[in-house]
């Protein structure tokens, strides 16, 4: 049997690299004062249909559904969905726990698997992993700049250079309505040549035409009306302030009027980090402001902004630019007994050392020769081998062998612990 298409096992070197990447990201997030939040994998369908939007690809085609069994207290089994993104679930949790009522700015992050039924290809999976950051309760342009600069700082922490930040503003609702009318009259005549599904989609959500993969539409989009020309004065003022904050923070960006995003909850600032290292799936991460989203969860609107980055894509980019490292922790010592008596001695010591937090690898074969034992030590990639044969056992000694340099010395058994602690790689 194989794993489900687009969903992968993680193990060995790749997992050690993954954990190294995670550790660097945690460090940056904590420096910026973000606190972790974890939501369940399953949510009620309407968390996403209401928040992400009925007309989006994610809700229309990509959600995995699970039929709840329905127990004695639940007469009609409900359809639940596997979380396709983190923001709607985050706001559901915020509202449910009244976190928004605590006052002051809230800074949260998550590191969670997401599920979307997409066509798998390089950098596009059905189970993928996002780090996301969400800042609630500040409408200030500095909050937008903080968020964007946080994501920038994460990529910079790895030394990644080959990416660009694309910035746009979708304005408030009134700005978007005016812009939609302009788009409908600009694209209208050409849309008539598209297939029925595309036409329907265009009339329902004209903004998303700017995101179209159709080459003809893409060519037309180059001269299409730009949202910045339709921004209401307040939205324009906010957008200008965000740009100026970003400049002050030393964050380089380009303005890209096509960054409309594939989720419905955005307003005002939107952004995407793209990298040519990734090929067709070029989005490293993206996000934006979603001030009105809380209303869809039945509470008054409060300001919020955030982003999510794709772990698989970040790792691809790091690998391609030679920046990927690993935080594998290897055993300090491999215990190599030559004979039954030596085995008993070393086995007892291994139990004791592990309890004390010294990592020891050992095979439980009792009658193997030195050559075999050293091969195991090599496979375990231990720093030292601790070898006991009959002579050493009789003299209450052990040989400690540095497996890198090959140098070895014989020392009293009682000194092994101190010697390993002294020489263990830091
Ligand atoms: P998104 O643009 O849908 O935004 O996803 C964010 C990132 O997740 C993408 O830029 C990409 O790196 C990664 N990603 C998305 N789909 C896949 C996939 N199928 N395979 C691999 N990686 C993928 C959101 O999800 C929003 N919730 C972001 C946000 C947070 N906005 C505000 N706050």
Per-residue pLDDT, averaged over 168-185, amounts to 94
Distance between Cα 15 and ligand 1 center (Å)? 21
> What integer pLDDT is reported at residue 412 of this predicted model?
98
Buried b (16+ CB within 10 A) or exposed e, 241-280: ebbebbeeeebebeebbbbbbebbbbbbbbbbbbbebbee
| Res 312 pLDDT > 90 | yes
Predicted pLDDT at 72: 57
| pLDDT at res. 106 | 98
- Pocket residue to mutate for ligand 1, from 122, 277, 287, 314, most atoms within 8 A of Cβ: 287
Stated pTM of the model: 0.91
DSSP letter string, 333-391: EEEEE-SHHHHHHHHHHHHHHHHTT--EEE---SS--HHHHHHHHHHHT-SEEEEE-HH
Structure tokens at 247: 């400049």
- Cα of 249 vs centre of ligand 1, distance in Å, is 25
Q: Which atom of ligand 1 is nearest to the CA of 126?
A: 19
Here the CATH number for the domain that contains residue 393 is 3.40.50.800
Question: 227 in a domain, yes or no?
Answer: no
pLDDT value of residue 190: 84
Task: Judge if the beta carbon of residue 135 lies within 6 A of ligand 1.
Answer: no
Span 332-346, pLDDT tens digits: 999 999 999 999 999
337 lines ligand 1 (CB under 6 A): no
Q: What is the pLDDT of residue 189?
A: 84
pLDDT band at 38 (very low <50, low <70, confident <90, very high): very high
Å from CA of 72 to ligand 1 middle: 38
CA–CA distance, 338 with 367 (Å, rounded to integer): 7
Same domain, 267 and 393: no
Q: pLDDT (tens digit, 9 = 90+) per residue, 293-303?
A: 999 999 999 99
The secondary structure of 122-155, three-state, reads CCECCEEEEEEEEEECCCCHHHHHHHHHHHHHHH
Q: Does the C-beta of 227 come closer than 6 Å to ligand 1?
A: no
Instruction: Please tell me if the CB atom of residue 287 comes closer than 6 angstroms to any atom of ligand 1.
Output: yes
> Residue 73 — very low, low, confident or very high, per pLDDT cuts 50/70/90?
low
Contacts of 181 (CB under 8 A, 6+ apart): none
For residue 380, give both structure tokens. Answer: 């375990």
Q: Which domain holds residue 237?
A: 12-172+232-320
Same domain (yes/no): 382, 254: no
- What's the mean pLDDT when you consider all of the chain? 94
Same structural domain, 303 and 402: no
In this structure, the answer to whether residues 338 and 409 fall within a common structural domain is yes
> Which DSSP symbol is given to 77?
P
Taking 90 as the threshold, does the pLDDT of residue 215 lie above it? no
Q: Determine whether 124 is exposed, middle or buried from the number of CB atoms within 10 Å of its CB (0-12, 13-18, 19+).
A: middle
Q: Beta strands 333-337 and 384-388: pairing type? A: parallel
Phi and psi at residue 64, to the nearest 5°: -80, 130
Query: Which residue's alpha carbon is at the smallest distance from atom 21 of ligand 1?
Result: 124
From the list 283, 287, 280, 260, the residue with the least C-alpha distance to 119 is 280
Q: How many domains does the chain have?
A: 2
Instruction: Give the Å distance between the CA of 341 and the centre of ligand 1.
Output: 58
pLDDT at 71: 57
Q: Which of 294, 320, 346 is at the close of a domain? A: 320
The answer to whether residues 318 and 160 touch, using CB atoms and an 8 Å cutoff, is: yes
Whether 192 is in a domain gets the answer: no
298 and 352 co-located in one domain: no
Q: Identify the residue whose C-alpha is closest to ligand 1 atom 16.
A: 124
> Tokens 């190599």 sit at which residue?
336
What is the average per-residue pLDDT within 155-175? 97
Nearest CA to ligand 1 atom 12: 310
């Amino acid at each position: 049997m194989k794993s489900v298409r687009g969903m992968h096992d993680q193990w060995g070197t790749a997992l050690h690299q993954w954990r190294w990447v995670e550790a660097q990201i945690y460090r940056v997030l904590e420096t910026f004062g973000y606190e972790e939040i974890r939501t369940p994998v399953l949510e009620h369908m309407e968390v996403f249909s209401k928040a992400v939007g009925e007309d989006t690809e994610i809700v229309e085609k990509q959600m995995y559904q699970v039929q709840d069994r329905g127990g004695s207290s639940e007469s009609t089994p409900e359809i639940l969905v596997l979380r396709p993104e983190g923001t709607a679930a985050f706001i559901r949790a915020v509202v449910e726990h009244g976190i928004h009522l605590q006052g002051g700015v809230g800074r949260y992050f998550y590191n969670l698997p997401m599920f979307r039924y997409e066509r798998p290809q390089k950098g596009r999976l059905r189970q993928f992993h996002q780090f996301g950051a969400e800042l609630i309760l500040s409408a200030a342009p500095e909050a937008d700049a903080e968020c964007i600069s946080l994501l920038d700082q994460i990529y910079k922490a790895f030394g990644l250079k080959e990416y660009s930040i694309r910035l746009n503003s979708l304005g408030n609702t009134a700005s978007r309505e005016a812009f939609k009318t302009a788009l409908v009259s600009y694209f209208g005549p050409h849309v008539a040549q598209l297939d029925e599904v595309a036409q329907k989609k265009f009339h329902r959500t004209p903004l998303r035409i700017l995101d179209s993969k159709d080459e003809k539409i893409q060519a037309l989009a180059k001269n299409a009306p730009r949202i910045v020309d339709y921004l209401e004065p307040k939205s324009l003022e906010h957008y200008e302030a965000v740009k100026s904050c970003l400049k002050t923070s030393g964050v380089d960006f380009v303005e890209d009027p096509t960054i409309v995003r594939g989720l419905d909850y955005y307003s005002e600032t939107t952004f995407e980090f793209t990298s040519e290292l990734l090929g067709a799936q070029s989005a490293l991460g993206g996000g934006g402001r979603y001030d009105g989203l809380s209303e869809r969860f039945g509470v008054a609107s409060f300001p919020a902004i955030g982003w999510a980055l794709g772990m698989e894509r970040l790792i691809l980019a790091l690998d391609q630019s030679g920046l990927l490292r690993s935080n594998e922790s290897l055993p300090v010592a491999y215990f190599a007994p030559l004979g039954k008596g030596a085995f008993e001695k070393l086995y007892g010591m291994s139990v004791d050392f592990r309890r004390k937090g010294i990592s020891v690898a050992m095979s439980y074969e009792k009658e193997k020769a030195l050559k075999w034992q050293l091969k195991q030590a090599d496979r375990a990639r231990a720093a030292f081998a601790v070898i006991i044969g009959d002579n050493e056992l009789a003299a209450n000694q052990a040989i400690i062998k540095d497996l890198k340099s090959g140098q070895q010395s014989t020392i009293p058994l009682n000194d092994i612990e101190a010697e390993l602690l002294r020489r263990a790689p830091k």
